[in-house]
Amino acid sequence: MNQSTAIFLVNPHARAVHAIYEPEDPGKAKPPRGLFKTLDPDVAVGDIVLVESTTRHGFTVVKVVETDVDFDPETTETVRWIACRLDLSAHKSLIAKEQQMLSAVRQAEMRQKRQKLAEALVLSAEELKALPIAAVGED
């Protein structure tokens, strides 16, 4: 008996899940699927989950591509646990806020460079705007 699948015989709430390690790439062969187990009823297709592995610190990240899959309980494959689902909403929010900040920084840098150029040319901002090239493309 495969001891890593015994939970499916003992607990009717155990779920078998297929997940992939590599992103799917249109035009390429589908990445191989790994079989994992969970007791979390909320694990869904598209979730990013932390799973047991034999790499680094004993965990790695995969993407769920199928839930409640049929499988052979006599498989020789070791079926590892899903440790948890990753809630990426806080991270996505942080990245969005960083993008807003970077946009503000780029705008400030552009204003500063324009001002320095005007000062180097000994022109006021209005005189710089009055240069014929400054109005090209306004039509």
What is the mean pLDDT for each group of 10 consecutive residues in the chain (139 residues)? Answer: 92 96 83 93 96 92 96 90 95 96 96 85 74 77
Task: Please state, in angstroms and rounded to a whole number, the distance separating the CA atoms of residues 21 and 1.
Answer: 27
pTM for the structure as a whole: 0.71
The reported pLDDT for the residue numbered 139 is: 65
Maximum separation of any 2 CA atoms in the chain, in Å: 85
pLDDT score recorded for residue 138 = 74
Contacts of 88 (CB under 8 A, 6+ apart): 48
DSSP-derived 3-state class of residue 16: strand
